[in-house]
Structure 1
Amino acid sequence: MFAKETYINRRAQLKNKLSNGIALIMGNVDASTNYLHNTYHFRQDSTFLYFFGIDLQGLAGVIDLESGEEMLFGDDFTVDDIIWMGPQAKLADNAAKVGVSKTYPFAKLGEVIAQAQKQGRTVHFTPPYRGKNMMTMGDLLNVHPNKVKEMASLELIKACISIRSIKEPAEIEEMDRHMAVGHQMHTTAMRMAQEGLSEQEITGILEAISISGGGMVSFPIICSIHGETLHNHYHGNTLKNGDLLLVDAGSESPLHYATDNTRTSPVGGKFSQQQKEIYQIVLDANNNALAATKPGVTYKDVHLLAAKTIATGLKELGLMKGDVDQAVAEGAHALFFPHGLGHMIGLDVHDMEDYNDTLVGYDDEVKRSAQFGLSALRLGRKLEENFTITNEPGIYFIPALIDKWKADKHLSEFINYSKVESYKGFGGIRLEDDILLTKEGSRIMGDRIPITIDEVEKTISGK
């Protein structure tokens, strides 16, 4: 965990933003896989980690927003637990490490919540996303578990977003340091982009690198020769020369901060001319977006710049036509680029999206669009110093989408469908970096993973 003062200061910020009631911050518990005592790898709730820092099961924190009192609830380990797990710290000792002096058995939490409700005080909490916590909170609040999420506190959610969006120096240091593991994952995948290997073999090695580097993968790995499927988690294909291998993979640091990078590699080590042309357009979009990313601009505008770069490049290849600005305004580029440029990243790979991705990515000034493609932009609001975000443009040739748009003659004034047909088996290319907003601009976190055509080809060839 970070220094004790980090957690004290975070809770103080929260108390400064909220003035009434109590804040209930629930930790996670173990989740079973196929029977009770065979559990998934434990992952603590990110909000609990942020404010209380203790990476253990069965805990909850309460902050009295009026008196300032802070409490941790949980049960000390029994002798039977210690037989299986070895010596364990007392709850009071762990609490002291994060600056909390008052600890109680978990059963006491129900009394505290009931007393607050009896007094007519607001019980603030963020939306639960795990079934066990929904049931526990249903019991605590005396409501059906299905109703718990509806009672989540918008005031607390907005306060958490405000605080967590600005990364502290210690967080930035942790993320920068762990980017080395992400770098190793992706350069290894490049070197393994060889005929005869399977997607599953590569995926297994990448997961091993992440675990050996300090933590589990930050999301299920996308490793596919069918990169046109945006979230392709099927790993059953065998690579052959001429394929494009898209790898979207990240690792969690020991303190659970995520990396999230994507690279696309030519199997065998050489791009075809057609692949080079599309790849360079995506790289130009990535670099143009990076150059435009700075405090005070909206990420929606940066996204649209990337979209115009893609549309311009595709027009030069004869795949698009007409006025580029108008084509992007009407969403024609989304046939090839149907997702957003990026999202927040931090303790969660899509940082804070358990709260609500629109609340995280938009505000009163920048509203979310309903237009296809642009509606998938997770982060549109104005950027600030010490935001950490992703920059991930892509070009994809999705046969089902092409067929639908072509049959409908959708935006045919901007799309040369006859030429697009010849690209149906191309696949997809995405190039993603993790970005820190600096005082006057932005920078890539860690060392940039090889990304130019020459760099990628040399890495695959082992040069």
Structure 2
Amino acid sequence: MNHTLLSVEEFASRRQRFADQLPNASVALFPANGEITRSNDTEYPFCQNKNFYYLTGFNEPEALLVMVKDASGNSTSTLFCREKDPLQEVWHGRRTGPEQAQKQYGFDAAYINIEADKRLPEFFESADRVYFCFADQPAFEQQVFNWLTQVKAGAKQGKKAPAQLLDCSAQIAEMRLFKSSAELGIMRKANVLSGLAHQRAMKQSAVGKFEYQIEAEMLHEFTLHGARYPAYGSIVAGADNANILHYTDNQDALIDNSLLLIDAGGELAGYAADITRTFPVNGKFTDPQATIYQLVLDSQLAVIEAIKPGANFAQLTDIAIRVLTEGLVELGILTGDIEQLIEDKACKDYFIHGLGHWLGLDVHDVGDYHIDENRRQLRAFEPGMVMTIEPGLYFPADCLEVEPKWRGIGVRIEDNIVVTEQGYENITVNSPKTIADIEALMAK
């Protein structure tokens, strides 16, 4: 995860904004991720803890950020990280070390991580409250208790342990929900390179190729433009596989006169793109495929046009349900009174997932949706929020209640949208999605 697209000042500003929310006499702790073994003595590619990364930009495992706000309201940030070790670095790669980490990342202090056991109890002695993200790393909670125990052991010497342990997940989530101009710049780039990958997939699609070969084309394009890794496991789902929402086997051959649904995006400087396109393997939609595809596209376009400050996901979902329901009635897939069908959400038999989600450092990014007792997402949109919009219709091959011509068709179309002062900005700009544009690109 290369942080060089964001300035050191951006991360320092985040730490200060978080510190401003802390009460005096507080300590906040943010651990980095560790490496995870894949097989015997090899590891999975390292992915940093997103909250830790958001506040530091530091991309090494086995680190800890400690933020202290003293009784007078002064705040400091301290990093604990791996020490410089020439032998380990020969085998496993270069380490920044505390001295350079302090200089390069703007911390007030930095130490080797084995110093944490000595210094954390000292930090705790002058604090009333300790904050950390409870669900982030369950094992870290035990470490916090160990440090507290050390402080409590000195009670006879007048040492006083913090009285409260508090979860700061909500504060960090709220900060991450609103993207800065620098973050939006990265997300635009992530979308452009991901769009190029979707174009490449369309161009390389051919009957008889395997789903994993198309996935490989996309991974090549991501990397070519600086996205070292995909933002999530790519879904490359041909024919009836498109009706499995999180299909990642990507192992089947592509079939003539079938669709290929690809849900994939690159990760750039930690930020995710999340784009879905559905297109014909042979470059030409059949009439039933085009009919379903256009209906999904019509619903997506109607929803996107309604995005503006003050709108919410519940309202957008109502729009999508109305467009899809009216279209399904026209096709004879749904029957009955349209208003009653809309009220019953009858189209959800075929539109089987949510309309969208927040997007950022995580694909399904953090941030409160303000969900009511009816599971409606009522949070009013504000400028700087980024979301996906991804309606879909799914008719599995064994869906006997629909005509045979619809069976096996699965369509999803997904773009990434920024809420602006005036309305919205669709940052998914170069991934064709009209039938004419897809067929024209694939005919080249």
TM over 0.5: yes
Instruction: Look up the match of 1:347.
Output: 361
Q: Shift in Å at residue 187 of structure 1?
A: 0.8
Pairwise CA RMSD = 2.3
User: Which one has a larger percent strand, Structure 1 or Structure 2?
Assistant: 2
1:451–1:12 Cα change, 3 Å: same
Instruction: Look up the match of 2:249.
Output: 234
Letter in 1 for 2:62: G
1:392–1:141 Cα change, 3 Å: same
TM-score by length of structure 2 reads 0.88
Instruction: Look up the match of 1:65.
Output: 69
Instruction: Look up the match of 1:435.
Output: 417
CA contact (8 A) 2:129 2:165 kept: no
Counterpart of 2:103 (choices 96, 100, 124) is: 96
Q: Aligned equivalents of 1:181 and 1:331: distance in 2?
A: 36
> Where does 1:206-285 land on structure 2 (aligned, <5 Å)?
206-214=218-226, 215-225=228-238, 226-253=241-268, 255-285=269-299
Output one character per residue of 1:146-204: Cα deviation in whole Å (capped at 9) or x when no partner: xxxxx9844x1221122111100110111112222101111111122211111111112
CA contact (8 A) 1:361 1:380 kept: no
Q: Does 1:324 align with 2:331?
A: no
Instruction: Look up the match of 1:395.
Output: 393
Letter in 2 for 1:174: I
SS at match of 1:69: strand
Output one character per residue of 1:118-160: Cα deviation in whole Å (capped at 9) or x when no partner: 667332111445xxx53344233239xxxxxxx9844x12211
Identity %: 27
1:164–1:368 Cα change, 3 Å: farther
Counterpart of 2:188 (choices 160, 176, 184) is: 176
Letter in 1 for 2:256: N
Q: Shift in Å at residue 116 of structure 1?
A: 5.5
Letter in 2 for 1:58: E
1:368–1:181 Cα change, 3 Å: farther
Output one character per residue of 1:330-362: Cα deviation in whole Å (capped at 9) or x when no partner: 22111011111111111111112xxxxxxx242
Q: Shift in Å at residue 274 of structure 1?
A: 0.9
Letter in 1 for 2:351: F
Q: Shift in Å at residue 423 of structure 1?
A: 5.1
Output one character per residue of 1:180-230: Cα deviation in whole Å (capped at 9) or x when no partner: 210111111112221111111111221222233222000001001121111
Q: Aligned equivalents of 2:395 and 2:195: distance in 1?
A: 27
Letter in 2 for 1:223: V
Q: Shift in Å at residue 48 of structure 1?
A: 1.0
CA contact (8 A) 1:180 1:446 kept: yes
Q: Aligned equivalents of 2:120 and 2:342: distance in 1?
A: 51
Q: Aligned equivalents of 1:137 and 1:76: distance in 2?
A: 24
Letter in 1 for 2:188: D
Q: Aligned equivalents of 2:434 and 2:146: distance in 1?
A: 57
Q: Aligned equivalents of 2:312 and 2:427: distance in 1?
A: 20
Instruction: Look up the match of 1:287.
Output: 301
Letter in 2 for 1:80: L
Counterpart of 2:15 (choices 7, 11, 16) is: 11
Letter in 2 for 1:205: E
CA contact (8 A) 1:368 1:380 kept: no
CA contact (8 A) 2:133 2:169 kept: yes
TM-score by length of structure 1 reads 0.84
Q: Aligned equivalents of 1:197 and 1:310: distance in 2?
A: 32
SS at match of 1:55: coil
Instruction: Look up the match of 2:319.
Output: 305
Unaligned runs of 5+ in 1: 144-150, 353-359, 404-416
Instruction: Look up the match of 1:356.
Output: none
Q: Shift in Å at residue 326 of structure 1?
A: 3.0
Q: Shift in Å at residue 3 of structure 1?
A: 1.7
Q: Aligned equivalents of 1:218 and 1:380: distance in 2?
A: 27
Letter in 1 for 2:194: G
Q: Aligned equivalents of 2:262 and 2:378: distance in 1?
A: 25
Counterpart of 2:83 (choices 76, 79, 86) is: 76
Q: Aligned equivalents of 1:421 and 1:436: distance in 2?
A: 38
1:452–1:207 Cα change, 3 Å: same
